[in-house]
Structure 1
Amino acid sequence: MRNSFNLTELLNKIAIVFRKEWRDSLRDSKSLRMTLLMPVYFVGVFVASSLFIIHMSNQSKATNNEPIKLAVVGAEQLPSLIDWLQERGVQVDAVGDDAYQKVETGELGYALVIPKDAHEKFATGESIELALVFDATNNKLQGGIHFVRQQIWSWNGRMGSLRLLSRGISPGIANPVYIRDLNIASDEKMGFFVMGSLPMLLILTAFMASVGFSADMTAGERERRSLESLLITPASSTALVLGKWCNSFSLTLMVSLVEVILLVVAFAYVPFKELGLRVDVSPLELAGVFVVLASLALLATSLQFLISLFARSFKDAQTYMGLMIFIPMVPLFYTLFNPSAYADWFRWVPVLGHQVLIKDLLLGGTITATHFAQVWLVSGVLACALLAYTIQQLRKPKIVYGV
């Protein structure tokens, strides 16, 4: 009966501290508005980058629909090559020997220079050096240059095979291997290249949402000399820490919820189909993403409290917690540059396991209740350990007085 009374009293004190911190947060309306602008900014970056990719894709399609124009010096030297290029839609225009200067001045985008002795060398079976003159800094021409270069190599391989056949040699001797590309990636997986930054933005939100408030409730209290007044109240260290932590945790949940709602709207209106991609993320799957972010918020906010507790001032706390952002960046960049890397133990690693689960939710991967239980178990255990250590350190003179 006594244990039940103590637990009820503890919960009441935690609720009192929580309400007090929420009132302080609401009074600081400027910081609260900036916090709520974070998900708007992150979702805006995602939508803007997606629309930019779609715009560039449409522009590329429009460019590819136009005939590729190629200025050629010495076109009469290799008529078979010119015919090959024209059959594949390249518009060949003969130009004089000043093609290099015209490319340099920008009058021509690029030009193919065929040497004057090319006809004799081709007849005798000698190699011919062709010069493709272009300005590598002009990105608009890269698609056309790549197409022309590819067609020249195709013609080169065809002519080489014909020469071998004319000498009674099988072309397979010179080309023992042919490669045929077979892309087995589903439309959802191809769509992840467009959404590659989204898991990073979501996880960073969980780590950044309540950084300022966590720093203010610990290092800020000590800097204002109000922490000593709180410690002499009947509230225990457990009630003080958990009440303040509940405030940061609830703020992070609120920001994550706003971000998920904005993503529901974004996925409904961003025209991914124009990229030929089927990005099918339902509101239910985004609700699963919110559940994962909630588990990560347990870990992130408890870590914020521990770090800011050892800071001597509010400014120091913000600096330390700014460096804390690099903690989730390590596994994020690892999976970003190694997208095919995966092992079952990834799901037991903090942040990495959360990212894997968010990725599965966005790509329509196989997900079970066990996967959610894993991230909640890992986050819960670490959060409890960090909060317990914070409670233990709260009343030490070094923490209270900063000595």
Structure 2
Amino acid sequence: MSNRVKALLRKEITDAVRDKRSLMAGLYYALFTPLLLAIIFSAVINKVTNPEDIEITITNGSDASQLINYLGDRGIFHRDQSSSLKRIELVIGKDFSAQMNRSESAEVTLIADQSEDNLRSAISRIRNALQGYSSELASLRLLSRGINPEITRPLKVNIEDQSTPDSKGGQLLGMVVLTIMLSVFISGMNLAIDTSAGERERNSLALLLSHPVSVRQLVIAKTLAVASFGVLGLVLVMFVSKIVYPFVPWQEFGFSINISMKFMIVTLLVGSTVAIFAASMQLFVSFMAKSFKEAQTYLTFVIFVPMAMSYAVTLDFAVDELRWAPVSGQLQALIDIAKGKDFLVFQLVVSCLTTLLLSFALLFGMEKLLKSEKIVFGL
């Protein structure tokens, strides 16, 4: 790295540090996103593992005392008036007792608006409880006739789970790794806009180009400055994640999410290539914009592309080609490392090299742009 590039890099970083509000706005994501996710995950896990009692309206419940007791053992109760009463009604058929005595199918009707999101979980629990009661009664009826209930289950499926506690996380683990990788794009975005469109609006970009520095040196310095803040955000988000995620009760779901030192080192190395790509992409788009606000608008949409690719690779139906693509390939490798699985080193290397090639192409494009007076002066 030449002395001029070092001087320009020092200047860019100094300017960025002076604007503490803009600097912290970019780093807030890295500092608070893991904490917010940990709180959300803890609340969701607590709600799933410790479900609240469901209070509903049960009509003609006196004719089905055993069913009512069965539902009560599973946290489903009848209430006439209650602040937590669900808008769900279970209607017991008028001939319920007689049909049960004759070993016939007794009718019950579950009345609810299934389009309401806050009722779906309760409806599912009630339906499962009713199906469980029906299965138990069917087995008892067969036993009373001297028939083994197993005759209705000709196939017994045994599943041997070969997954490890680290690999069971699935979608949640993918989400955690995705939030870590996104810090590279978000942490340096404000600096990318300020050092390109912002400098042009302040008329300091043309003044900077009037100094004895080449356009290439200027582009390299700005890219390295933005990338350095992306890497800083990556380090912060990993550090905060390593602290807060152990407090989430993952074991309630039978898995764990461990931010190991190996994962952090590989993420830092891989994330550095993504940081260069993010910086070059954001600077290129910002220079193309006519104003500071326009650059903010463009980057909001542009950043969605790598986000979508990164999220797509965490889905079950993701195509294998995404493992070789920029950003998504690195993300998949990091997910495999977090799960403790083997990953193709060659695949990761190809993905990183492709990312760097795209970055160099964007750098070359920026160099061409800054040789145009329309771009420099925003004409």
Q: TM-score, with normalisation over the residues of structure 2?
A: 0.82
SS in 2 for 1:131: strand
SS in 1 for 2:313: helix
Query: Which residue number corresponds to residue 5 of structure 1?
Result: none
Cα distance in 2 for partners of 1:327, 1:258 equals 24
Question: Per-residue deviation at 1:320?
Answer: 0.8
Query: Which residue number corresponds to residue 334 of structure 1?
Result: 312
Query: Which residue number corresponds to residue 73 of structure 1?
Result: 60
1:151 equivalent among 121, 132, 155? 132
Question: Per-residue deviation at 1:377?
Answer: 0.7
Query: Which residue number corresponds to residue 5 of structure 2?
Result: 14
Cα distance in 2 for partners of 1:245, 1:229 equals 19
| Closer, same or farther: CA 333–372 of 1 in aligned 2, 3 Å | closer
Query: Which residue number corresponds to residue 52 of structure 1?
Result: 43
1:24 equivalent among 11, 15, 25? 15
Query: Which residue number corresponds to residue 211 of structure 2?
Result: 233
1:323 and 2:304 matched: no
Query: Which residue number corresponds to residue 356 of structure 1?
Result: 332
Q: Which amino acid aligns with 1:301?
A: A
1:202 and 2:180 matched: yes
1:182 and 2:173 matched: no
1:118-150 CA-to-partner distances (Å, cap 9, x unmatched) read 344455565431234678756785576245313
Cα distance in 2 for partners of 1:400, 1:108 equals 63
| Closer, same or farther: CA 291–267 of 1 in aligned 2, 3 Å | farther
| Closer, same or farther: CA 72–352 of 1 in aligned 2, 3 Å | same
Give me the CA root mean square deviation.
3.9
Contact 1:103 1:110 in 2 (8 A): no
Report how many residues are paired.
375
Name segments (4+ residues, structure 1) moved above 6 Å: 67-72, 90-93, 103-111
Cα distance in 2 for partners of 1:171, 1:139 equals 32
1:301 and 2:279 matched: yes
Q: TM-score, with normalisation over the residues of structure 1?
A: 0.78
Query: Which segment drifts farther, 185-194 or 127-136?
Result: 127-136
Question: Per-residue deviation at 1:264?
Answer: 2.0
Query: Which segment drifts farther, 280-289 or 267-276?
Result: 267-276
1:249-286 CA-to-partner distances (Å, cap 9, x unmatched) read 11111111111122222244444334442333312212
| Closer, same or farther: CA 134–270 of 1 in aligned 2, 3 Å | same
Question: Per-residue deviation at 1:301?
Answer: 0.7
Cα distance in 1 for partners of 2:76, 2:286 equals 68
| Closer, same or farther: CA 29–341 of 1 in aligned 2, 3 Å | closer
Query: Which residue number corresponds to residue 221 of structure 1?
Result: 199
Query: Which segment drifts farther, 235-244 or 359-368?
Result: 359-368
The structure that has the greater radius of gyration is 1
1:346 equivalent among 275, 299, 322? 322
Query: Which residue number corresponds to residue 230 of structure 2?
Result: 252
